[in-house]
Chains A and B, each alone.
Chain A
Amino acid sequence: MVSPAIALAFIPLLLTVLIRCRFYFVLFYRAVLVRIWRDCVTGLSREERAYQYVLTHATPGDPDSILDAFDVWCSKMEFISTIGPKKGKVLDRMLMEQSPLTVLELGSHCGYTTVRIARSLPLGARLYSVEMDQRNAAIAEKIIRLAGFDDDTVELIVNPSDEVIPRLRSEYGLERLDFVFMDHWKKCYLPDLQMLEGTGLLGKGSMIVADNVLFPGAPKFLRYIRKSGLYEWKVHRATLEYSRGIRDGMAELVFQGIK
């Protein structure tokens, strides 16, 4: 039998782990436990609940108010992995500086980021948003339309990204991508990037932004861009959206081409 005194000696360790990982515990609670519970109670999916909230609390046709409503819902009620207001500001700045004409977004989820990008685009720019999941895409479509962006500005493509990218040139008649935003499956960052390189849509100065490269993290992606030498890159360090203590980063890559 293990003596109780030895067990007592483990209390400091327990406390340390609890305090150190409190943000992860909170995240786990909000993102998993609350979600499961709400799913059971309401019978709706998380995205649908978010849409309902936005619909009732935001002004239609005003992207800012929609984004605000989203932020409130995500920080107060439940957790949805979007880009969040803080990293969103960085993204806005990058878009302002770049003012891209053709933008590709991989993983629109429920449209938060799509609205965010679309509102800071210059006139005549076009945003292609790729979403794999049918139900999420439906909600994203609604949100985008609610924000007042029509088909000319934002085109939603419901397909997995690895199928869409090779066909971008042939089906959508794209010649060059000025700006690519990645926020889909972290595992797909690297293959999609390589595919983009393969299609030749990236020109000198094209900017690629990848969210969540530190948490949940895309190590292979980071390793690749570090090695490849095709890009000028940096990681904007920030915290995870709607959470203070978890460190995360957004990678900003500028395609340089082969020198």
Chain B
Amino acid sequence: MTRDSLITSENDVDIGLEFEGLEDEVDTFQEEHERERHRGKRRDGERAKKKKRGNGEGRKRASRAGREEDKLQARREKKGRRKKSCSDQQAEGREGDEADQPTMKSSKAAKTRKNVKNEKTRKVEKEEKEDEADDEERNRKRKKKHGSNKKEENVEDGNTHTVKEKAGELKKKKHKKVVETSSEKETSEEEDNEEEDSEEKEVRPETLTPEELETLKEAVDERKKLIQGLRGKPWAMKKKLVTLRESQEFVEKYEGALGKGKGRTFYAYKVMMTKKWMKFKRDFGNFKTACIPWEMKIKEIESHFGSSVASYFIFLRWMYGINMILFCLTFGLVMVPEALMGRPYGTIPRKTVPRAEAPSAMDFTVLWDFGGYAQYSVLFYGYYNNQRAIGWLKFRMPLSYFLVGVGTVAYSYMVVIRTMARNANESGVGDDNSFNFSWKMFTSWDYLIGNPETADNKFASITTIFKEAILEEQESRKDDNIHLTRFLRVLANFLVLCCLAGSGYLIYFVVRRSQKFALDGLENHTWWERNEVNMVMSLLGMFCPMLFDVISALENYHPRVALQWQLGRIFALFLGNLYTFIIALMDEINLKREEENIVKFNITTWEASLYNISASENSTSPPVTIQPADVPRGPCWETMVGQEFVRLIISDTMTTYITLLIGDFLRAVLVRFLNYCWCWDLEAGFPSYSEFDVSGNVLGLIFNQGMIWMGAFYAPCLPALNLLRLHVSMYLQCWAVMCCNVPQERVFKASGSNNFYMAMLLVILFLSTLPAIYTIVTIPPSFDCGPFSGKKRMFDVIQETLESDFPAWFSKVFSSASNPGLVLPFILLMVLAIYYLQSTSKSYKEANVDLKKKLQTQNEENKKKNKLAALKAQMDLEEARKAASPSAEHQKNNNASPDQEADEEEDRGRSSKNGRSPPPHRHDGQLPATRAPVPRNYPHGNQGSAGYLPSFPRENEARMHRVPQRH
């Protein structure tokens, strides 16, 4: 019988192996064994506890219950199995056999078999011990130990009972195996775990008593906690991984068994659904990442060039997103309605090309300058009609135009400020001053680098950073010739200022000259002269930063500081140029308005003459229809401003691209191919390949955006153009970076500078909305073009809407709300609120700093305490060792019971040789449970504190006595 059962069980395993195939066979086998054992142990422990409480009767009842449970389980199993594996006849037959066997089994048979079984499990156990004695999870150990200890105490009266239990356990094991084999037949590798789990869920809970459930629940909770806190544990990574895997397995397995009664299936369903949901979420996350535009491109660049270059592209993408929304607003609410529902081209003068310009209106040069047909289209302000409502939708065009203009700016403010706030939260964590070298030591590596060359550069730059930091530390103590440095810095700033002033004057000069040209008529001048302003602005924007860079070598700043100075200077340059341009434009606007007055006067005379002609000819004839192209019209300064901005954007874009092609691509080609026949090394030497200029590019982008914000009100096509530009430059720059740039020599991380860019963007946004608001508020719109023609000011459109489109009470409320008596207190309140919030945030920050300090001091104290504790533990250990060495032999013979566990673990054969006769119950199948795997490195004393865990008192004693024996 025993033989049979053994053989069959082995056969089962073989079958399992056959079907498993792919997995590491021995491992799975062992795991199976161990898992089974654990489960048995736990149950036994529970039983033992119960027994102790409820004495004989309770014991009997428990055993009976256990048997019944087993029977029930067997039946259920059978049913389930039949359902599942009816395809494989042979296997089923065997299963039937096995299912019958346990019920017929007597306790005696179980006993005899137990011995054989013991040997086997012991062997397996030994192997396992060697594998993962250390990695064994501590909690589980403890649990096991409690159970086994209690069991030992109750071992006398529970002897027969354990045997029965044994039988039950074996039975169960077999069941399980059979089930597994059958399930594996039909399911794939992956799913077989789940299958097993579901089986478990079905089977287990009925065999469990409430107490067991309780402990199981506790265990599961504990595992969960462990998984959560695993990251902070001071363990080796391998151990962490093993623990994590084991705990996850455990939780996965027993979580399903926790449901009670009828709710169980529901619970299982819920668990399954959570799993599915999690998987779905993960997949969805992947999908989302795949949907982010240009993500792969940016990641690739990041791996080649470090995160600073990638931060530019991320910024570009962010900008693209914002422009997309601006474009949607202007395109959807202004351009499309006007094109679809407004009056068509050629119906009114403002929508027609004047007669004088008509012949050349379709020429490429004219169109390229955004004159001709381009000027008289939805692209520019002047085309829009001042009709209050257009089309069958009664679309309020002027109102929409105004609100979109305001809305784009408001939206931009919102987005920029929100992003800044978010970044500020991230960046305001660490203080860089207190642990300068530690920060550098542990945080300077950029883990996103995937290119060996960049990694080399990064390595070199970190080394230089260290050198510089050490030098700085040294230099902070001594100061040599500070006067010279100061003088040089002042000199450098003076030079830069000269340069800025020069460039500003040049631009002003050029703009004035272009006005003169415009008055003369553009046709008389060459292309160079016509595009002088844009050319000069672009060229200055390109070359002056280089000069600043050279000048900043004088100053001898730390590179990071130097970079900020450089950024600031370029910013000043761009801003100066932009504002010079705007001031010149203002002059031009004033000129145009004077011209407009003349035209207005002329038109009245012209109309009068027209009327006179028609009156004198014939009073009865219908009034003369005048072609809209012939009507004289004003200069329309708004369209002029829009055109200027569009031209500026176009030329700026062209310059950027041409610089890219010449400065990067052509240079790279020359360096690459001339290097074969050149007298020095071009690649490593002078021209070399270009580096990607992050700061310059970011600033270019920011100023470009500023121009868009400034000009978008007068040229609704600007966001569209900008979108196009950003789209093209994304691809072009990605290509250029990957193809012809080399990683920067100083690879620096971008995280710090991100908010710096944002701050600049905000400043630019503010500065670019200023002139736009100024023109909207102060200058009256042209009389014969644009949606606001005929009004005194552009914002009158709101008042008009309030009066005519809203009920009377609303406008009354609005007007009363806008009187100064209400507005001023409101503003005051707002200022107060801002002040209050700011002061509270400041106090929070202070509190934060205090807490940080406290934490730090506490940490130091803890460290000291730990050190003391470790020292004390070591001393105790030494003492114990000394005390133990003389009486080691004596203790070994007499005091056997406490160190038995360790003995068994070490050498089983020796204990029997020593003539010690351990109680027989210790050597049954339960034994692995009583043995706690003792970590091997305890005796070395360097882990003294670990031995003082409260849950290891007995073991501790044993270890201490046994130490001398081992050595």
A interface vs B, CB < 8 Å?
A: 1-3, 5-6, 8-13, 15-16, 19-21, 24, 214-219, 222
Interface-central residue, B535, B540, B547, by most chain A CB under 10 Å? B547
In the complex the two chains form, what is the Cα distance from A2 to B526 in whole Å? 8
Q: Is the CB of B544 within 8 A of A12?
A: yes
Supposing A1-B528, A12-B547, A16-B543 touch, asked if A6 and B535 sit within 8 A by C-beta, the answer is yes
* A215 in contact with B680 given A12-B546, A15-B547 (CB within 8 Å): yes
Determine if A13 and B532 form an interchain contact, defined as CB atoms under 8 angstroms apart.
no
Complexed CA–CA distance, A217 and B540 (Å): 34
Contact with A along B240-271 (1 / 0, CB 8 A): 00000000000000000000000000000000
Cα(A76)–Cα(B740), bound, Å: 41
Q: List 18 A-B contacts (CB under 8 A).
A: A1-B528, A3-B526, A5-B506, A5-B510, A6-B532, A8-B536, A12-B499, A13-B543, A13-B547, A15-B550, A16-B546, A24-B686, A214-B681, A215-B680, A215-B681, A217-B681, A218-B681, A219-B681
Q: Which of A3, A13, A217 contacts B529 (CB 8 A)?
A: A3
Q: Is the CB of B550 within 8 A of A20?
A: yes
- Given known pairs A5-B506, A5-B510, A15-B547, the reply for A214 and B685 (CB within 8 Å) is yes
Interchain CA distance A29-B835 in the complex, whole Å: 65
Closest partner residue, chain A, to B517 (CB atom): A3
By the criterion CB–CB under 8 Å, are A219 and B528 in contact? Answer: no
User: Given A16-B546, A218-B681, are A10 and B539 neighbors across the interface (CB < 8 Å)?
Assistant: yes
Closest to B513 in A: A5
Contact A16–B535 (Cβ < 8 Å): no
A215-B679 Cα distance, complex, nearest whole Å: 9
Q: Which residues of B contact A6 (CB under 8 A)?
A: 528, 532, 535-536, 539
Interface contact B499-A216, CB-CB below 8 Å: no
A3, A16, A217, A219 — most chain B CB neighbours (10 Å): A3
For the complex, give the distance between the alpha carbons of A12 and B547 in Å: 6
Q: Which residues of A contact B549 (CB under 8 A)?
A: 16
Q: Are A3 and B680 in contact (CB under 8 A)?
A: no
Known: A6-B528, A9-B539, A217-B680. 10 other contacts (CB 8 A): A3-B529, A10-B543, A12-B543, A13-B543, A13-B546, A16-B549, A24-B686, A215-B680, A216-B681, A218-B681
CB pair B532–A5 under 8 Å, yes or no, is: yes
**Chain B contact residues, CB within 8 Å of chain A:** 499, 503, 506, 509-510, 513, 526, 528-529, 532, 535-536, 539-540, 542-544, 546-547, 549-550, 675, 679-681, 683-686
Complex Cα distance, B675 from A6, in Å, reads: 33
| A64–B475 CA distance with the chains assembled, in angstroms | 35
Q: Which of A1, A15, A217 contacts B684 (CB 8 A)?
A: A217
**Are B550 and A19 in contact (CB-based, < 8 A)?**
yes
Contacts of A20 in B (CB 8 A): 550
CB-based contact B547/A9 at 8 Å? no
CB–CB A2/B528 < 8 A: yes
**Contact with B683, one of A9, A13, A15, A219 (Cβ below 8 angstroms):** A219
Q: When A3-B529, A9-B539 are in contact, do A16 and B684 touch as well, CB less than 8 Å?
A: no
Please tell me if the beta carbons of A3 and B681 are within 8 angstroms of each other in the complex.
no
Residue on A with the closest CB to B551?
A: A19
Is the Cβ of B547 less than 8 Å from the Cβ of A16?
A: yes
Shortest beta-carbon distance, A22 to chain B, in Å? Answer: 10
Inter-chain contacts of B510 with A (CB < 8 A) = 5
Residues in chain B near residue A1, CB distance under 8 A:
526, 528
The complex places the Cα of A215 from the Cα of B528 at a distance, in Å, of 41
The interface residues of chain B lying within 8 Å CB-to-CB of A216 are: 679-681, 685
Write out the residue numbers on chain A whose beta carbons fall within 8 Å of the beta carbon of B513. 5
B506 to chain A, nearest CB (A): 6
Q: What's the Cα separation between A217 and B549 when bound, in Å? A: 26
Q: CB < 8 Å: which of A9, A16, A21, A219 contacts B536?
A: A9
Cα A3 to Cα B681 in complex, Å, equals: 38
Given the complex of chains A and B, what is the CA–CA distance between A214 and B681 in angstroms? 7
Q: Which of A6, A11, A12, A20 has the most CB of B within 10 A?
A: A12
Q: Which of B499, B550, B675 contacts A219 (CB 8 A)?
A: B675
- Could you tell me if B680 and A9 are in contact, using CB atoms closer than 8 angstroms? no
Residues of chain B contacted by A2 (CB below 8 angstroms): 528
Residues in A neighbouring B679, C-beta threshold 8 A? 216
- How far, in whole Å, are A211 and B503 apart by their CA atoms in the complex? 45
Q: Which 6 pairs from chain A and chain B are nearest by CB?
A: A217-B681, A9-B539, A12-B543, A216-B680, A13-B543, A16-B546
**Bound form: Cα–Cα A20–B546 in Å:** 10
Indicate whether A9 sits within 8 Å of B543 (C-beta atoms), given known contacts A2-B528, A3-B529, A24-B686.
yes
Point out the residues of chain A lying under 8 angstroms from B684, CB to CB: 214, 217, 219, 222
A234 to B547, CA, bound (A): 35
Task: Chain A residues near B529: list those with CB within 8 A.
Answer: 3
Report the Cα distance A214→B683, complex, angstroms: 10
Tell me the minimal C-beta distance from A217 to chain B in angstroms: 3
Q: How far is the CB of B516 from chain A (nearest CB, A)?
A: 12
CA–CA, A86 and B550, complex, Å: 27
Q: Do B535 and A9 have beta carbons less than 8 Å apart?
A: yes
- Chain A residues with Cβ below 8 Å from B543 are 9-13, 16
Query: Which residues of chain A have C-beta atoms less than 8 A from B539's C-beta?
Result: 6, 9-10
Q: Contacts of B532 on A, CB cut-off 8 Å?
A: 3, 5-6
Expressed in whole angstroms, the Cα–Cα distance for A83 and B742 within the complex equals 30
Complex Cα gap A12–B501 (Å): 13
- In the complex, what distance in Å separates the CA atom of A29 from the CA atom of B721? 50
| Residues from chain B with Cβ under 8 Å of A214 in the complex | 681, 684-685
- Chain B residues near A217: list those with CB within 8 A: 680-681, 684-685
Chain A CB count within 10 A is highest, among B532, B536, B549, B681, for B681
- CB contacts (< 8 Å) of A21 on chain B: these are 686
A12 to B543, CA, bound (A): 6
Query: A8's closest neighbor in chain B, by CB?
Result: B506
How far is the CB of B573 from the nearest CB of chain A, in Å? Answer: 10
CB distance from A50 to the nearest CB of B (A): 23
Chain A, residue nearest B554 (CB): A19
Complex: A12 Cα to B570 Cα, angstroms = 13
In the bound complex, CA of A10 to CA of B546 (Å): 12
Question: Which chain B residues border A222 with CB–CB below 8 Å?
Answer: 684
Nearest to B538 among chain A residues (CB) is A9
Bound Cα distance A225, B675 (Å): 18
Report the Cα distance A130→B798, complex, angstroms.
92
- The residue that A3 contacts in the complex, of B528, B544, B546, B683, with Cβ under 8 A, is B528
A5: B residues at CB distance < 8 A: 506, 509-510, 513, 532, 536
A248 — nearest CB in chain B belongs to which residue?
A: B685
CA distance A24 to B679 in the complex (A): 14
Q: How far is the CA of A49 from the CA of B574 in the complex (A)?
A: 54
A150 to chain B: closest CB distance in Å?
37
Nearest chain A CB to B678's CB is how many angstroms away? 9
Provide the residues of chain B in CB contact with A24, threshold 8 Å: 686
Closest B residue by C-beta to A214:
B684
Residues of B within 8 A of A8 (CB): 506, 536
Contacts of A219 in B (CB 8 A): 675, 681, 683-684
Kindly provide the distance from the CB of B734 to the nearest chain A CB, expressed in whole angstroms.
Answer: 27
Q: Which among B526, B540, B546, B686 is the interface contact of A9 at CB below 8 angstroms?
A: B540
**Which residues of chain B come closer than 8 Å to A12, judged between CB atoms?**
499, 503, 540, 543-544, 546-547
Which residues of B have CB within 8 Å of A3?
Answer: 526, 528-529, 532
CA of A24 to CA of B685, assembled, Å: 12
Least CB distance, B675 to chain A, in whole angstroms? 7
A13 to B547, CA, bound (A): 7
- The answer for the CA separation of A16 and B544 in the assembled complex, in Å, is 9
Could you tell me the distance in whole angstroms from the C-beta of A251 to the nearest C-beta in chain B?
Answer: 12
Residues of A within 8 A of B540 (CB): 9, 12
Q: Collect the chain A residues with CB atoms within 8 Å of residue B503's CB.
A: 12
- With contacts A9-B536, A10-B539 taken as known, whether A16 is within 8 angstroms of B550 at the C-beta atoms is yes
The distance from the CB of A216 to the nearest CB of chain B, in whole angstroms, is 4
Q: How far does the alpha carbon of A19 sit from the alpha carbon of B547 in the complex, in Å?
A: 9
Docked pose: A12 CA to B545 CA in angstroms: 9
Q: B685, A215: Cβ atoms under 8 Å?
A: yes
Residue from the set B506, B542, B543, B549 with the largest chain A CB neighbour count within 10 Å: B543
Distance in angstroms from B673 CB to nearest chain A CB is: 13
